[in-house]
Structure formats: C-alpha cells, structure tokens
Structure 1
C-alpha cells in the first residue's frame, strides 16, 4: 500500500536525483528557488553532489560512485550501477514524495523513473534537462510519455521537437549559461585585447580524458601547421584541474606550446579576450557563441562508437551553436574529416575578417533573443513548473 501523500500545511516533500556536477548545480539552484516559493515548508531528499548538499540535501550515496571511465570500467561497474538504480527507485517509493525531479544523466535517472512509475503511478515525475531525442534515438520521446509528466528544456528548439516526436509536455525554461553572460563577454579592456594582434586563439580539446586522447594530436598538428604557414596568434588552452596531467602530456609533441590555464574562472577570462577557437563539439560551442567567439569545431571517437553514431544521429549538425541559431554557420569536421589540413584551413578563415567569420558573428548576435526567457532566470521558470505540476497532482489525489 502506498503511504498517504502529504496534505494541508504539511511540508512538501520533493525528491531530486542528479548524478553529475552540471546537474548538481541545476538541482541546487532549483532547491533554492523552491524553498523561497514554499516559504521553507519543504523537505528535500534524493541524490546530489556538493552544491545540492549546501542547499540541505543528504545524498543517498556520493555521486562519484557513478563515475565510470573506459569500456572495461563500464563492464566491471555495471552490477554496482544497476544496484544503485534499484536502491534509488526503492528509496523514492518508500519516501512517497509529492514529486520526483530527475536531472539529466538519463542512463541512470530514466531507469529510476521507470521503476518509480511502475511501483507508484501517483508520484508526478519532472525531467529537468532533455535527453538529445532530436539528435538520436528519437523514439525515446514517445516512450517517455509513460513515465515523465513534464520535460524542462534548456534549449529553445526542444519543445517543438517533443511535439513533433509525440513526447510528453515540454517547456523551455532557459539555459544556465544565459545567467552567466557577464563572465563570458568582454569588458572594455578585454575587447581591446580581442581586437589586437596577435589574435588570441583558444584550443578546447574536451572535458573528458577520452576526448583529450582523441583530439590533442590532431589539434596540435593543426595549430602547428598554421604557425608554419606564417599565421600569427597567441595560443591558450583552458582546462580543468583533473585534466591537467592529460593535457600536459598531450601538448608535449606540439610544435607550438600553448599557455595552459586551469579552472573555470581562468577559462572564462580566456573566452573574454579570444578572437577565435578550435573546439571539440559539445556545450562549449554554446559558451563560445554566447561569448561571441567564432570557432571551428571537430569531433573524433573510436571506430566502434563512430559506427554506431553515424547510423543513429539524424540531425544536420551536431554543434549546439548551429542548432540554437538555426543554421550551420559553424564549420564542423567530424571523424575522418577531422584532419589537420581541414582544421587549419577553417582556422585561417576565422582568424581574418572573412565572410565565414562575419557570418558567425552576425548569427551569434541573434542568440540572446533566441534564448531569451524574459526577466525570469531558468531556475525560477523551472521551479514554477515543478510547483504547478505538484499542485495539479495534489488536486487530482
């Protein structure tokens, strides 16, 4: 028998699940707004990291337990992964919360949500951060209707995609990057440096060790080729502390040594003076677009993963910046096209006042309007939908 749901003046119980740092930050902001909205009459339970812990969440387990790197690790850690899914789903149903909010990490959170819906259909479920149903495995959207009541989208084109794919209701709440524009865009002195010679060229090979392994050599050859051709530039490679060793090892064979800067603040400072960038595809392309930095993008994976992705991906571009602005203004060189020659040629164009560079700059100038959420921060819009879903559910019970 399912325990009775909280009612009257009893504090609302909200269960949240976030298993990666980015989701943890989203969850913390959501918790903060929900507490403000509910006047403190709320209890949080679930899974989260340090940011959510600071907002009062005692996580069921450390999210680091789900950090899996490499194929061999996936195989050896799979039993533990499945056990944590079972235990988390059991904890949700035992807690009988007023609502469950799953945040990103669909390989984990969606498996939990399906189990919760099967055991207790009365618990409403919100999915904060849409899986990439518009890029691959589109059938997931329709399948999500069985266990997700509302999707909170970070990208403005996603609600239309959910309607097209007959998925659950989906609302654009905004991307957290739109709240960080002052850290991405140059001040007066930084703009002067951005316009000065030699231009600052950023190299962004990835945020995971595997991505660095796939991209460092070809990125190094590309910038080395540029230098050999007489193109002048100042090279900066932003990275994070846990990747520093892999980056240092990767640049040993480069003909031109980049200035390596470490940490989020240093990365954003580099964005503010950058003229152009060579970047691995991913969220960083949206960061660069918001910062107004033209770029060349690339992506390489192993042969098996490439074989799968080629057959699964069904979009004209894999670059978030292109998808958001609605046209392929950013050149992308994927897999066999990711060569030093192609990358160097693309960089030469955007390091000068070329039509390719101007096209990107003009497209990025529209991005504020495209991603606008009015005067409401994403966390506020997300909290309002969580509470509206909660009230609707309580009214039906």
Structure 2
C-alpha cells in the first residue's frame, strides 16, 4: 500500500502518541525519518520530545492517557472529544502515513474511524498491544485497520501471526539505544561493588502507582536499613511527580535521595548494586543495566480479583517474559511481603547465588533482543518508508 504521491524529499506524517514511553518512541522515529527525508513534517498529538522536533500537538498528550477502569470511566467524555478532534484533523488534511504510538485503547479507535473514512491511508501501529497477556482477540480485530505493526519485544511478531493480527516487524526496544547511559564504565563498575552500595527505589511514575506502592516500599526500605544501614537509597522520578514523591517519602522510616534530572538517574543506574521496582518498563531498563532487582505491583482491588481470569502469562515482569524464565522475583497484589522482599534485597546486595543468577540471565538479553547496533528509531523509520514504497 502506498500513500499520496509526494516528492522524494517530502513526507507528511501524522502521529498520535500517549504517555512518556510513546513520546520517546515517536521522537526517535521522527528524528530517523527526518534524517532520511529532509522535508519530512510532522503533525498530531505528542509530548515534549516530539514537540522539540517540530510537532505542534493538537492537545496535551496526557488527555488521552487513562490507566484502570475507574480512570477510564471518569475521563470518558474528554477522551471521546479528543478522539473526534484527532480523527477530524486527519480526515480534513490526509497525511502520507498515520503512525499510532502506544495508548492502544485510544489509538486503535482512531485507526478504526480513519480507515472507514480514508480506506487507502497507510496506518502504522508502533508497539503491539499486549495480546500475549490478555484480550488476545485484539490482534485479529486490528487486522482490517492496521497495515503494519512495529513491535518492541522480540517474541511479538510470532504472537501476532499466531493470533491472526496484522503483519508485524520487530524493530527493537527504545532502551536498546540507551545502553551507553545505563551500563557502567570500569570506574562505575568499581563503585557498584563498593562497601557503600547504591540501591535504586522505583515505585512507578503514575500517581496511582505511587499511592498503591508507597507504603509498601517505605516498609521494605525501613527493614532493609535495619539490616544494611550503609546502603545509599536513590529514588529517580519525573519532575512533574516530585511533590507527590516528596509527600510519599515523608513518613518513610528512611528517606531516599530523590533525583529528577535524567542524567542523574542514568548516573545512579550505572553504579547501582540492586533495585526495588514497580513492574513495568523500568524492570527491563534495570535488566539491561545489569542490576539485580526485586519487583512488585498492585492494582485496585476489583481489578486484582478479575485479572487472574483473563491473564494469559504467569509473570508480569518484562525481562522474565523475554527470557522465558523467572529471573526477577516478583511480589504481586495479594503476595506482596515486605519482610521477604527486604530479605531478598539483602541477598542481592551482599552477593551470592541469587545475585549471580540474575546477572547471568540479564547478560543473555543482548542476544535475545538482537542488539546489533541499529537503533530502534532507525529500524522503525525504515519500516515506515518500506510500507510507503519510498
């Protein structure tokens, strides 16, 4: 399928991204497209990184982000308004290609409505929906509306094929392009093994995650501090969450050092000896950095009761899914156990078989994820241009 006729140095791309992760992915794709097509221009919905590359967002990206059933219901009128506005903007001035990044509940509806109005417009979905976790019927449902899926996890093309989804290409996870920021040099490796170890504390980046995990993480840190008082706790967070994080740790028995600058976060990753983290992309970030981790997660009570009847996998941790083994210990929902989590972290910090096993498992990620030097944004850009026959 090809888009409207354009010159070799012209390309009109409409992008829709949701959340920080989508902003990062889309910005990488935009930069790589511009490197290949000098006259590429971008429209749509995105965050700060996309806007820095020239995109004027139709509305704030956060307007289409809703996590959890209750939040979706509360924000539904706004989301529907934004959905209509997005589709109207695309139909009023059809681009050469529509790229929908993450935020599946919103972007799949955009794709469906646009396909009905502009049946020949090429539509790309960047990030496959988690059909390998639940609602596997989404893969087949996407097929009429999506021409190409760009996957960020290596097992997803096969999953999508097995479930009757659209053609899917693995382009690599965005963290692949950040390994130099995450992995220590010789001096940092020495600091990682020093007598005053750094431990990362990562309770999540969403307000709801902080509310559900704050007390648990504070309890774990208090217990760990009693056993290993020399550990330096560092809590990286986003600038927009600083006030909430400061309020969260105010009652903790031991206060971590909070950092909001991305360079400071990466510096902490390169010297950290262990981590306590909320389940999510950060667990893969930690694994690629070679940092042994204990992971935890909680969802609202009702979701926790319903989810086991629909979930198709036996782990919520990305490195475990990619490696197909329980490399990272996880404490989820009803099984969160601060004393056990603290004891596990002691063993990871002090060293021994459990730490060695995690480090060895993480080393295998380079092969499994195909880290061959090409950045995901570059692979994604080439996939888009291939679809367009450019």
Normalised TM-score (structure 1): 0.91
Q: Does 1:200 align with 2:198?
A: yes
The 5-angstrom pairing of residues 102-113 of structure 1 reads 102-113=100-111
Partner of 1:20: 19
Q: CA deviation at 1:6?
A: 2.8
Alignment partner for residue 165 of structure 2, among 164, 167, 171?
167
Partner of 1:190: 188
Q: Distance in 2 between matches of 1:71 and 1:316?
A: 22
Deviations 1:246-288 (Å, cap 9, x if unpaired)?
A: 2222222222222222232221111111111111110110110
Q: Kindly tell me: are residues 43 and 209 of structure 1, through their superposed partners in 2, closer, same or farther at Cα, counting changes over 3 Å?
A: closer
Single out whichever of 285-294 and 308-317 deviates more from structure 2. 308-317
Alignment partner for residue 248 of structure 1, among 238, 246, 249?
246
Please give the secondary structure, in 2, of the residue aligned with 1:313: coil
Query: Mind listing any 5+ residue stretches in structure 2 that lack a counterpart?
Result: none
Kept in 1: contact 2:9–2:38 (CA 8 A): no
Alignment partner for residue 179 of structure 2, among 171, 178, 181?
181
Partner of 1:34: 33
Alignment partner for residue 350 of structure 2, among 352, 365, 389?
352
Kept in 1: contact 2:63–2:82 (CA 8 A): no
Q: CA deviation at 1:192?
A: 1.3
Q: CA deviation at 1:230?
A: 5.3
Single out whichever of 21-30 and 110-119 deviates more from structure 2. 21-30
Partner of 2:297: 299
Please give the secondary structure, in 2, of the residue aligned with 1:126: strand
Single out whichever of 54-63 and 377-386 deviates more from structure 2. 54-63
Q: Kindly tell me: are residues 90 and 327 of structure 1, through their superposed partners in 2, closer, same or farther at Cα, counting changes over 3 Å?
A: same
Q: Distance in 1 between matches of 2:372 and 2:282?
A: 24
Q: Distance in 2 between matches of 1:350 and 1:382?
A: 37
Q: Distance in 2 between matches of 1:162 and 1:140?
A: 10
Q: Kindly tell me: are residues 183 and 12 of structure 1, through their superposed partners in 2, closer, same or farther at Cα, counting changes over 3 Å?
A: closer
Kept in 1: contact 2:126–2:150 (CA 8 A): yes
Partner of 1:390: 388
Alignment partner for residue 132 of structure 2, among 131, 134, 149?
134
Q: Distance in 1 between matches of 2:246 and 2:83?
A: 37
Normalised TM-score (structure 2): 0.93
Please give the secondary structure, in 2, of the residue aligned with 1:201: strand
Partner of 1:335: 333
Q: Distance in 1 between matches of 2:33 and 2:139?
A: 27
Q: Distance in 1 between matches of 2:56 and 2:240?
A: 25
Q: CA deviation at 1:196?
A: 0.9
Q: Does 1:371 align with 2:369?
A: yes
Q: Distance in 2 between matches of 1:346 and 1:166?
A: 41
Kept in 2: contact 1:205–1:219 (CA 8 A): yes
Kept in 2: contact 1:47–1:59 (CA 8 A): yes
Q: CA deviation at 1:134?
A: 0.9
Q: Distance in 1 between matches of 2:7 and 2:259?
A: 53
Query: Mind listing any 5+ residue stretches in structure 1 that lack a counterpart?
Result: 393-397
Q: CA deviation at 1:58?
A: 2.5
Q: Does 1:51 align with 2:75?
A: no
Q: Kindly tell me: are residues 141 and 67 of structure 1, through their superposed partners in 2, closer, same or farther at Cα, counting changes over 3 Å?
A: closer
Please give the secondary structure, in 2, of the residue aligned with 1:249: helix
Kept in 2: contact 1:138–1:165 (CA 8 A): yes
Kept in 1: contact 2:196–2:230 (CA 8 A): yes
Kept in 1: contact 2:8–2:37 (CA 8 A): no
Partner of 2:90: 92
Q: Kindly tell me: are residues 317 and 106 of structure 1, through their superposed partners in 2, closer, same or farther at Cα, counting changes over 3 Å?
A: same
Residue correspondences, number: 388
Please give the secondary structure, in 2, of the residue aligned with 1:96: coil
Q: Kindly tell me: are residues 239 and 6 of structure 1, through their superposed partners in 2, closer, same or farther at Cα, counting changes over 3 Å?
A: same
Partner of 1:395: none
Please give the secondary structure, in 1, of the residue aligned with 2:14: strand
Single out whichever of 231-240 and 102-111 deviates more from structure 2. 231-240
Deviations 1:125-144 (Å, cap 9, x if unpaired)?
A: 11011111111111111111
Q: Distance in 2 between matches of 1:7 and 1:218?
A: 55
